[in-house]
Structure 1
Amino acid sequence: MTTPGRWTLRAENSSYTVRLSPDGPWAELEAWGPTGVEDGPSALDWSRRTHFITPADAAPAEYLPYGLRPFTGSELIAARPGGERGTWWDFDGAEEGDGSLRLAFTDPVLGLRTVLRYEVVPGTDVILRWTELTATTGELRLARLDSAAVNIPVTGAARLTYLTGQWSQEFQRTQLDLARGTFTMGSLQGVPGHAYAPWLAIQDGGRGGVGEAGGAGGAGEGGPAYGIALEWSGNWHITAEAEPGGLVRVRAGRVPHEGAVSLAPGETLTTPRLACAVSPDGLDGLSRVWHRYERRLSGERLHRPRKVLYNSWEATGFDVDAAGQLELATLAAEIGAELFVVDDGWFTGRGDDTGGLGDWYPDPAAFPQGFGRFVDDIRGLGLDFGLWVEPEAVSPGSRLYAEHPEWAYRIEGRPARLVRNQLLLDLGRPDVQDFVIGTLDRLLTTYDIGYLKWDMNRPPTERGRPDAAYDVLLDLDAEHVGGYLRVLDHLRATHPDVTIEGCAGGGGRVEHATIARTDVVWPSDNTAPLDRLSIQYGFLHAHAPHVMSSWVTDAPGVFDPRPRSLAFRFVNALCGVLGIGADLRAWTPQQRAEAARWIARYKDVREVIHHGDVHLLGTPEDPSFGVQYDDPRSGRTVVAALGTGRLDGAPLLPGRPDRLRLRGLDPRARYRDAGSDTTYSGAHLLHYGLPFTWSDGHDAELVVLTRR
């Protein structure tokens, strides 16, 4: 039975209930959690005592403007040009659909209509939220335009889990107990950035905070977990506030480039979507919710096998020529690679990183028989062919820059700063978008290219548009994002069979708008084994294995230099989409033979890895760490096990094998490991775990269990 002014959205295993507040003209959260959580008194209800604050400042409001909520953080700040900021609105109706909800509020004095949007993602426990803002009478200036606010009731400090880092050290899982005050993170770099991912998990830490579970439980501690992820490829923020009365309220949205956005009369602005997820099974369960959601984002492309890639960058750098690339491609084909990608250095003027960007034509000196003949030779080895591009970049010495200097971001009268010896094109301009689309269309139709790696290696600095009117308030960040997505949408529609990899100096642009339009993303330029393990551990909390491109290389550790075997590098890399980036010419025949065996094993289990349910077993700080993949359809469980710590002395000294306790198995079933010809009960694997005896020459295993 539907209660007036109260709406429940039902997801796969959870529900989200919103009501009109009895305290004022706003919507507020009543319940969010496992299905049925809405039956009973709201855990977010409060005492209505409001000393020195207003009811709106204390309420678990879904979205409120400054004006109604003046003290504890609002989602919207709007004003007429030159006028006082502030919005006071009235409820203007609801529109409920199958898995969707629209709640409208209007301010006739200011001339603003605000519609809160909700949509359940079928087959998941994700609810999308966003906001539509319409100027109904005159021009408006929006100084803040968040997508939504998310309310989490807590009994003490809230445990925040988020992903931090820097270039070469992205996606480091970081945790903070927030008892009081404000936590904020974001990016002003024109992309999500390397320092923070637009993703946050929130748990109730209780009075004493949430403790880490030891051993196999590192990712699953803390009971129910709530998560948000912002679908935006530009500037953003996420802000969590521990508010009076035991509530953590999280606001998230894009950040206007010039501090405000202009909204013309009759114009509607739609904010980025905020994905909201919940799991009763802690962070480990929350990761599986995100994985399922990203499989939905991939759509039919999910069922396209991710090919084993070889990329020549670490072998040749900018020294690209047909003969050297063919030599590497021949070796790659022999070990079982399915795709050969030529990275930076293939085009005219690109002998180093000081030139060539923008002039996207193959270097005739490097390919004397023609680039088309070279591509055909690669394909003649049985390999698909891929190419690296950086469409947003331009070199100052390029022909493109000489012809169109106005296409690069620049502030009139100020020097143009070079980052990585290059400038950034203003992709918000339609003529620049058309140039990029025309360039990529030409490459993809002239040559038989099946894979495109889109890179972006510098943030916008002097972000101005020289020929724009001086008195116009530009929204350059949103325009650049719109141009970027327009180009990707064109590629998806016009070249649907081309696999696209998203990259921005590593993991600088990994978020749901990009993931929805690409096939894989590149988490980091750091491929050192233990460094990469930490990166992938954080990445898999937020993102699915089928989008995680990972290479086997010879790179030494940057942050953790301890050596690891070739087996370790392969087992670590096959936790996502396997690639190889080492100089195969320097490998011994024995190393190449070992690589061929690992690639064959990966091909046998990649469907389980890319489609299965994932459990993170422990943390990279534990002596043993693993990633478990379960495929209920085939009855197979794959465990990528890695020895990360000090050895236990066995067999020279008394010692027992280390063990990884598995999760999610049927304790009454039996599971056979064909590799060791051992059969385990599910109860044994859940209680004791798989045994591993690590040594200096044995630090990784891939175990495949079949349910009998």
Structure 2
Amino acid sequence: MSTHNDVVIGSGGLVITMHPDRQPGIAAIRAHDVLWGTASSPLFRIDLGDQVVTALTPSVRLTAIQQTHDGAGMQYTTFSYDTPQRIQITQTFKTYAGTHLLEAGVSVINRSNAAVTIHRIDTLVIDIPTGSYESIGYSGGWGSEFEPKAQRLIGDVVWQTRSGRSSHGMHPWVGLTRDQRALLSVSVVWSGNWIIRADEQPGGGYQLSAGLNDWAFHTTLAPGATTDAPAVVAVFGANPSLDDNAAAYAAVGRSHWYPKNTLSTALPVEWNHWWTYEDRAITEQTFRANVDVAAQMGMEVCALDAGWFGPSDPGTHWYDYRGDWHIVNTTRFPSGIRALSDYVHAKGMAFGLWCEIEALGVRAEAGLTNPAIVARRDDTPCGYVCLASDAGWAWAFATLDRLITDYRADWIKLDFNLDPGAGCNRTDHGHGAGDGLHGHYQGYYRLLTAIRAKHPEVVLENCSSGGLRIDLGIAQQTHMAFLSDPDWPEHSLQLFWGASSMLAPDAILHWGFCEWGFADHPQQTFDPTSAAVTATQLDYYTRISMLHRFGFSQGLPTLLPWIRDRYVQHIDIYKTVVRRFGRTAQLHRLTNQPRRDGTLDRYAGFQYIDQSVGDMLVALFRLPGAKPKRRFWLQGIDPLRSYRCTWLGDNRVAIIPGAVIAAGWMFDDLGEPGSALIHIETLPQD
């Protein structure tokens, strides 16, 4: 029997202790003095045939423990287990200095001489102590992303997605508050079907498990074969603060997860053609006219959305021809796409291009002429390219590589507008009948990794019918997540409040209130050419988009002159002051989550604290129906200091004692709707 010394994982606030020679599994998981994981925790679960295997299974033997550090604050601990059937299970724990965040992973290798079938893999399974638990999560649908779902835990509870897209159903993040004293959150690092379970235990408490959804899933490992389960992240809070919990995701995301390059780090101001023109009204002439104005206004990226590809016909509908990225609609773009890219570059801006690389429209040549790439379920086309297949992966890589190279694209907006469900079950695609979706997403991640390796300075934007595939898996492969197709103010504020539970502001993109030229939506009524628009309204609409990555989708040449001028001021403010906070600051919520339906909190407030500089940014919004007065309680205010407060864009500066702010800063002059964007600087002590 192997001998293993005691193991301590983590440092500072989060400590996981193990005594391998005295007991299997863990001894405890603690966040400061708060106990979260107990000694009965199975750590993982793998269903091998009809056998359930965990770290506590008597026949499972711990064979090796390794610990390393990456030199950048990450501790990496690996545990290797063997079963009597010669199945090797490796579980990894990553912890990050200064946070209470744990990232777990599991891989399984078949060391036997016979095939073995796995029906379920839970990457992380922990037993949490007895207490009164309340959960918060978010459901996700088109135009209804990050809808709060709270409940008191009674009996067994399951959160999951079966649509094949991580956020279509539920978003892959769940928070559990125990006795209103401490918050634990869990997120599955996966873009497909996932599941989180809370199973009530006979002696009290819950067994919390998370990982790949076992619905319609099984994978068969041939001798020598390996499968990797999606990672699972848990943040073990020492208090009930959602802000503190979210700060761990943001800190680790910025330091270890999010891809970075020069353009993405700049948080450039973007214009996209879609909502005003869609594919019905976009032409080369129209795009160039908008580029001219965008350059004058100080924008930094101009993106050509759907409508550029497919047959040369003014009536070509983008959805039907997804996949035909080799065909340019020359009726709309007679000079081709490279000419547009060159035009944007000549104006000193970056060029963006929309592409739904995974999708195959019903009329697309790509699927008809390349049957080997088509995902099928029970011989019916699924509408997408199976990236688990060698042919599909090679086709997708060659296509993206060509688009970037030939068109000199600086930015690719990657969309996905369908639900793959359980995914492809072809058995000639490099996957089995029960793990096609798992293989597809592993292939998609490899594809994006390869594209970033070959084109490291190209920005990749994640979009999926708006925000139906937002998760920490895709966040490690793309530079930002687009939150939602609609963008009316209350909706946008609700989205940001929810999305920032697991993503930093610099990993989020959503445009300001857009001009919808064709699509019909009862809330998308903004007309930037209307004389009825007031400056107070325009500021309110625009500042919401400045909470994260900033962008527009409006017809720029037809803007009223005063609106154009006001946008120029906002763009300058964003560049010179605001976006620095989006890159580095810690976010604090000053209100509860507002609702898109006009209920709950009718104010929204966010505070950004930049510890490296010592200043702050506060964004406040009064929504329709709100009372005229509201007191806001800011973080990090020293009542013995004074602060210079600059209302950005409003020509107002005031020196305010810290004691006044710390006692609850009263605002009674915001319009309805109205907003304030305030830069707060600490004055030197006398």
Fold conserved between structures, TM > 0.5:
yes
Counterpart amino acid of residue 250 in structure 1: L
Determine the structure 1 residue equivalent to 2:530. none
Distance 2:37 2:665 in 1: 40
Given candidates 80, 83, 92, the residue that maps to 2:62 is 92
Change in CA separation of 1:600 and 1:665 when aligned onto 2, cut-off 3 Å: same
Name which of structure 1's ranges 619-628 and 428-437 shifts more when overlaid on structure 2: 619-628
Q: Distance in 1 between matches of 2:124 and 2:175?
A: 16
1:460-539 correspondence runs (5 A): 460=420, 463-464=423-424, 468=428, 473-539=433-499
Counterpart of 1:702 in structure 2 is 677
CA distance in 1, matches of 2:676, 2:654: 15
State the partner residue of 2:170: 196
Task: Say if 2:156 and 2:199, in contact at 8 Å, map to a contact too.
Answer: yes
Give 3-state SS (helix, strand or coil) of 1:460's partner.
Answer: coil
User: What is the match of residue 50 of structure 1?
Assistant: none
Measured after TM superposition, the shift of residue 524 of structure 1 is: 1.1
Alpha-carbon distance between aligned partners in 1 of 2:393 and 2:36, rounded to the nearest angstrom: 49
Counterpart Cα distance in 2 of 1:44 and 1:471: 36
Which letter does structure 1 place at the counterpart of 2:343? Answer: D
How far apart are the structure 2 equivalents of 1:623 and 1:471? 50
Deviations 1:260-284 (CA, angstroms, capped at 9, x unpaired) = 2112223232222111212334211
Q: 2:581, 2:609 within 8 Å by CA — same for their partners in 1?
A: yes
1:329–1:17: structure 2 CA closer, same or farther, 3 Å change rule? same
Cα–Cα, structure 1 residues 700 and 666, in superposed 2: closer, same or farther, change >3 Å? same
1:250 to 208, 211, 223: 208
Question: Helix, strand or coil for the counterpart of 1:190?
Answer: coil
Q: How does 1:571-590 map to 2 (within 5 A)?
A: 571-590=543-562
8 Å CA contact retained: 1:63, 1:149: yes
Give CA deviations for 1:344-370 in whole Å, capped at 9, x if unaligned. 001123821453211113222222233
- Superposed displacement of residue 172, structure 1: 2.1
Q: What SS class does the counterpart of residue 577 from structure 1 fall into? A: coil
Q: Are the aligned partners of 2:645 and 2:655 in contact in 1 as well (CA < 8 Å)?
A: yes
Percent identity for Structure 1 against Structure 2: 22
**Residue 307 in structure 1 maps to residue 268 in structure 2:** yes
The farther-off stretch of 157-166 and 305-314 is 157-166
User: Contact 1:450/1:497 (CA < 8 Å) preserved in 2?
Assistant: yes
Deviation at 1:243, TM superposition (A): 1.9
Give the drift of 1:104: 3.3
Secondary structure, counterpart of 2:605 in structure 1:
strand
Displacement after TM superposition at 1:252 (Å): 0.7
Q: Per-residue CA shift, 1:494-549, capped at 9, x if unaligned?
A: 11111110111111221122111111111111211111111111111121100110
**Inter-partner Cα distance in structure 2 for 1:447 and 1:628:** 40
Give the letter for the 1:362 counterpart: V
> Which amino acid letter does the alignment assign opposite residue 28 of structure 1?
I
Alignment of 1:43-58 (within 5 A): none
The residue identity in structure 1 corresponding to 2:42 is: E
Cα separation, partners in 2 of 1:492 and 1:471, compared to 1, 3 Å = closer
Q: Which of 70, 74, 77 is matched with 1:101 structurally?
A: 77
| TM-score of the superposed pair, with normalisation by structure 2 | 0.87
1:395 paired residue among 342, 361, 383: 361
CA–CA distance in structure 2, aligned partners of residues 699 and 172 of structure 1: 24
Q: Per the alignment, in what secondary structure is the counterpart of residue 506 of structure 1? A: coil
Q: Give the direction of change, closer, same or farther, for the CA distance of 1:100–1:185 in structure 2 (3 Å limit).
A: same
Aligned residues: 640
Unpaired runs of at least 5, structure 2: 69-74, 527-535, 595-599
Change (3 A) 1:142 1:491: same
Deviations 1:634-693 (A, max 9, x none): 2221011100252546xxxxxxx4221111333333211133322223333222225242
Which whole-Å CA distance do the structure 2 matches of 1:173 and 1:540 have between them?
13
Residue type of the alignment partner of 2:197: T
- State how 1:64-213 maps to structure 2 within 5 Å: 75-79=45-49, 89-98=59-68, 99-108=75-84, 110-137=85-112, 138-155=114-131, 157-178=132-153, 180-204=154-178, 206=179
**Distance in 2 (alpha carbons) for counterparts of 1:411 and 1:624:** 47
Q: Alignment partner of 1:188: what SS?
A: coil
Residue in structure 2 matching 1:638, options 596, 610, 617: 617
**Residue 289 of structure 1: which of 248, 253, 262 is its match?**
248
User: Is 1:362 matched up with 2:328?
Assistant: yes
Preserved CA contact (<8 Å) 1:192 1:198 = yes
Q: Is the 8 A contact 1:530 1:562 kept in 2?
A: no
Letter in 2 for 1:9: I
- 2:609 is paired with a residue whose SS is strand
SS in 1 for 2:294: helix
- Partner in structure 1 of residue 385 of structure 2: 425
Aligned twin of 1:55: none
> One-letter code of the match for 1:77?
D
In the TM superposition, what is the alpha-carbon distance from 1:410 to its structure 2 partner? 2.3
> What is the match of residue 276 of structure 1?
234
Query: Hey, what's the Cα distance between the residues in 2 that align with 1:661 and 1:561?
Result: 32
Cα deviations by residue, 1:574-611 (Å, 9 ceiling, x for unpaired)? 11100001223443111111111111111122111221
Q: How does 1:207-222 map to 2 (within 5 A)?
A: 222=180
> How far apart are the structure 1 equivalents of 2:119 and 2:500?
34
Name the residue aligned to 2:283: 321
Structure 1 residues 488 and 473: CA distance shift in structure 2, 3 A: same
Partner of 2:531: none
Partner residue, 1:228: 186
Indicate the RMSD between aligned Cα atoms, in angstroms.
2.8
Q: 1:11 to 1:523 in 2, by over 3 A?
A: farther
Distance 1:590 1:289, change over 3 A: same
Q: Provide the C-alpha distance between the structure 2 equivalents of 1:597 and 1:524, rounded to a whole number of angstroms.
A: 26
Q: Contact 1:608 / 1:636 at 8 angstroms: preserved in 2?
A: no
* Equivalence for 2:293: 331
Conservation of the 8 A alpha-carbon contact between 1:410 and 1:462: no
Secondary structure class of the residue paired with 1:677: strand
- Structure 1, unmatched stretches of 5+, are 46-58, 65-74, 207-221, 418-422, 650-656
The CA deviation string for residues 146-185 of structure 1, in whole angstroms up to 9 with x for no partner, is 1111333242x2111212131111112322110x311112
Q: From the superposition, tell whether residues 174 and 665 of structure 1 become closer, same or farther in structure 2 (CA, over 3 Å).
A: farther
Alpha-carbon separation, structure 2, partners of 1:337 and 1:487: 30
How many angstroms apart in 2 are the aligned matches of 1:626 and 1:464?
Answer: 44
**CA shift at 1:338, angstroms?**
0.9
Change (3 A) 1:391 1:568: same
One-letter code of the match for 1:480?
H
- Deviation string 1:88-144 (CA, Å, 9 cap, x unpaired) is 523333414143333333321x33232332122345332211222222322211111
Q: Structure 2 vs 1, CA of residues 692 and 594 (structure 1 numbering), >3 Å: closer, same or farther?
A: farther
CA contact (8 A) 2:16 2:26 kept: no
Matched, 1:351 2:316: yes
**Mapped partners of 2:321, 2:36: distance in 1:** 60
1:405-425 CA-to-partner distances (Å, cap 9, x unmatched) read: 34222245x6547xxxxx212
CA contact (8 A) 2:164 2:421 kept: no
How far apart, in 1, do the equivalents of 2:429 and 2:632 lie? 63
Counterparts of 1:504 and 1:105 in 2: how far apart (Å)?
38
* Larger mean Cα displacement after TM superposition, 537-546 or 361-370: 361-370
Amino acid at match of 1:588: L
Deviates most, 571-580 or 360-369: 360-369
Q: Secondary structure in 1 aligned to 2:156?
A: strand
CA distance in 1, matches of 2:78, 2:58: 19
Secondary structure of the 2:375 match is coil
Could you tell me how far apart the structure 2 residues matched to 1:21 and 1:616 are?
45
Render the CA deviation track for 1:231-255: whole Å, top value 9, x for unaligned. Answer: 1122211111232333222111113
Matches within 5 A, 1:443-454: 443-454=403-414
Tell me whether 664-673 or 484-493 shows the greater mean CA deviation. 664-673
Structure 1 residue aligned with 2:540? 568
